[in-house]
């Protein structure tokens, strides 16, 4: 049995105190001044009241940062001197898709490297748009031996990048005649996508490259931004370009081309320079994506990277036959099934980016039909970005991303990916699937809320 893929997290504290959902309000006029050993504060299961301190940089008590929201102190105070209310600073994080819950959960995972824990549990959403309308079958979770992240069971998260042969040819002596195409084994179904916005200085780029090397994955980077500082990490870099540049081909294991009319010719030129290179095609997720994927696959494409917008929506919704923009899970499924109908699915690897905000989205994207995902904004959130988009308007960054240290930033990204990896294993174990390759397009193990609602109430 191959060695298990293991990521080593390391506690990496936040530079700034992240806003929590609730703030604790203590009303002294209602306090009965109970003896210390009788005060409900001493019974806090998370020792919030003993860890609290005053942050001189932000001029506030950071008790809310340690609170897990179990409400034990609120319920147990004899005269209701303690209460909680929504934090207005928390409510303005992100937007309707990149919600405050997603952002603060990523902060926690980037700090600890562990699956987030809340004393109040997870209250939803269990229905809604996009991935929230998609449920996974957890029927195997009751089995006591199904315990992947604790080492009692082998659950592989590897995927292959590249195409595979449909048939193998052998000579009369049993020797293999077929020449297998280059294939890269990725230990986790994630690569890093270029950041769409933010402070993209050399420290941030170096941090992404460092974490990609530690995780044994890849980072896509525009070829114009390749610097000498990144050369030691070139085995984990994917230059993004629209032309064949020899030094951007010969020294790398993978290269990504923007889709264009002669992209297949660019791939052939790249193979002529480096026969072992694996090529990706960066394709807009729009109305014509299905036909284009079929065309490129028949033409010899190895890996196709489907790019949606930041909220997982298609980039061109001008089709008059539809009244709304489609979400990536519907488009992915259409592409996946079209390739199956043409007997082409195993000849190409599909990667998707855009709208992959947390680990559940990763699993659901693979279930919809892709092999893996390229992520971007979660890496930015790992660096404490609040997705305020001030940087796009030339305004100062509230968490001073321009001052981050590459080592600190790299470890934060590694911690986040470790938490995602653990959660992916948990989902696969609960579904009874022991290999990420088998997770791809497993529609029979998925329930869509809209379908269930229609079946129940039609």
Domain boundaries of the chain, sorted by first residue: 22-123, 149-457
Contacts of 263 (CB under 8 A, 6+ apart): 257, 281, 296
Read off the pTM.
Answer: 0.89
Q: Mind listing the pLDDT tens digit for each residue in 336-350?
A: 999 999 999 999 999
Round to whole Å and give the CA distance between 75 and 68.
Answer: 14
Please state which architecture CATH assigns to domain 22-123. 2-Layer Sandwich (3.30)
Q: Mind listing the pLDDT tens digit for each residue in 260-293?
A: 999 999 999 999 999 999 999 999 998 889 999 9
**pLDDT at 84 exceeding the cut of 80:** yes
Q: What is the mean pLDDT of the chain?
A: 87
> For every residue of the chain, which 3-state class applies, written as one string?
CCCCCCCCCCCCCCCCCCCCCEEEEECHHHCCCCCHHHCHHHHCCCCHHHHCCEECCCCEECHHHHCCCCCHHHHHCCCCCEEEEECHHHHCCCCCCCCHHHHHHHHHHHHHCCCCCCCCCCCCCCCCCHHHHEEECCHHHHCCCCCHHHCCCCCECCEEECCCCCCCCECCCCCECCCCCCCEEECCCEEECCCCCCCCCHHHHHHHHHHHHHHCCCEEEEHHHCCHHHHHHHHHEEEEECCCCHHHCCCCCEEEEECCCCHHHHHHHHHHHCCCCEEEEEEECECCHHHHHHHHHHCCCCEEEEECCCCCECCECCCCCCCCCCEHHHHHHHHHHHHHHCCCHHHCEEEEECCCCCHHHHHHHHHHCCCEEEECHHHHHHCCCCCCCHHHHCCCCCCCHHHCCHHHHHHHHHHHHHHHHHHHHHHHHHHCCCEHHHHCCCHHHEEEHHHHHHHHHC
Rank 30-39, 65-74, 247-256, 414-423 by mean pLDDT and report only the highest. Answer: 414-423
Binned at pLDDT 50, 70 and 90, residue 57 comes out as low
Contact predicate 417/6, CB 8 Å: no
Please calculate the CA angle 372-202-417 and round it to the nearest 5 degrees.
30
Beta pairing partners, 168: none
Query: What tokens appear for 103 in the block?
Result: 């952002």
Q: Mind listing the pLDDT tens digit for each residue in 188-221?
A: 999 999 998 877 788 999 999 999 999 999 999 9
Round to whole Å and give the CA distance between 191 and 161.
Answer: 11
Q: Mind listing the pLDDT tens digit for each residue in 379-398?
A: 999 999 999 888 888 888 88
**pLDDT at 143 exceeding the cut of 60:** no
CA distances from 8 to 183, 233, 372, 422 (A): 26, 19, 22, 12
The pLDDT score that the predictor gives to residue 277 is 93
Contacts of 3 (CB under 8 A, 6+ apart): none
Contacts of 42 (CB under 8 A, 6+ apart): 36, 49
The pLDDT score that the predictor gives to residue 59 is 64
Q: Give CATH for domain 149-457.
A: 3.20.20.70
CA distances from 75 to 71, 151, 366 (A): 6, 38, 42
Please calculate the CA angle 208-221-101 and round it to the nearest 5 degrees.
50
**pLDDT at 33 exceeding the cut of 80:** yes
**pLDDT at 147 exceeding the cut of 60:** no
CA distances from 373 to 242, 367, 394 (A): 21, 12, 30
The pLDDT score that the predictor gives to residue 2 is 61
Residue 443, number of CB atoms within 10 A of its CB: 13
CA distances from 230 to 268, 325, 354 (A): 26, 38, 25
């Amino acid at each position: 049995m191959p060695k298990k893929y293991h990521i080593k997290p390391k506690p990496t504290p936040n530079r700034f105190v992240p806003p929590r959902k609730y703030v604790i309000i203590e009303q002294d006029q209602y306090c009965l001044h109970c003896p210390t050993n009788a005060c409900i504060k001493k019974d806090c299961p998370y020792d919030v009241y003993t860890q609290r301190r005053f942050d001189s940089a932000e001029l506030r008590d950071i008790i809310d940062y340690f609170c897990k929201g179990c409400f034990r102190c609120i319920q147990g105070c004899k005269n209701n001197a303690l209460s909680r209310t929504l934090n207005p600073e928390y409510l303005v994080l992100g937007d309707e898709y990149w919600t405050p819950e997603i952002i603060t959960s990523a902060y926690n995972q980037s700090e600890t490297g562990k699956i987030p824990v809340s004393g109040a549990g997870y209250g939803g959403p269990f229905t809604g748009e996009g991935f929230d309308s998609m449920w996974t079958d957890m029927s195997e979770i009751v089995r006591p031996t199904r315990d992947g992240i604790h080492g009692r069971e082998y659950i592989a998260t590897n995927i292959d990048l590249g195409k595979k042969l449909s048939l193998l040819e052998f000579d009369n002596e049993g020797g293999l005649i077929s020449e297998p195409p280059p294939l890269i084994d990725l230990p986790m179904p994630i690569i890093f996508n270029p950041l769409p916005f933010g402070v993209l200085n050399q420290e941030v780029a170096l941090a992404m490259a460092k974490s990609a090397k530690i995780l044994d994955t890849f980072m896509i980077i525009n070829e114009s931004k390749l610097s000498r500082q990144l050369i030691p990490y070139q085995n984990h870099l994917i230059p993004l370009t629209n032309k064949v540049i020899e030094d951007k081909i010969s020294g790398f294991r993978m290269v990504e081309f923007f889709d264009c009319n002669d992209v297949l010719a660019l791939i052939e030129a790249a193979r002529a320079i480096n026969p072992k290179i694996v090529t990706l095609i960066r394709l807009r997720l729009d109305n014509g994506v299905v036909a284009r994927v079929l065309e490129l696959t028949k033409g010899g494409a190895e890996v196709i990277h489907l790019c949606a917008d930041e909220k997982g929506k298609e980039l061109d919704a001008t089709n008059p036959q539809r009244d709304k923009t489609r979400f990536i899970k519907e488009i992915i499924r259409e592409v996946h099934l079209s390739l199956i109908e043409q007997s082409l699915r195993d000849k190409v690897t599909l990667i998707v980016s855009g709208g992959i905000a947390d680990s559940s989205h990763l699993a659901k994207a693979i279930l919809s039909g892709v092999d893996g995902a390229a992520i971007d904004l979660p890496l930015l959130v790992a660096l404490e970005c609040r997705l305020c988009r001030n940087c796009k308007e030339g305004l100062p960054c509230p968490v001073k991303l321009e001052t981050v240290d590459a080592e600190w930033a790299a470890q934060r990204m590694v911690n986040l990916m470790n938490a995602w990896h653990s959660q992916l294993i948990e989902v696969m174990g609960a579904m009874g699937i022991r290999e990420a390759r088998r997770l791809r397009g497993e529609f029979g193990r998925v329930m869509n809320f809209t379908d269930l609602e229609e079946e129940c109430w039609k």
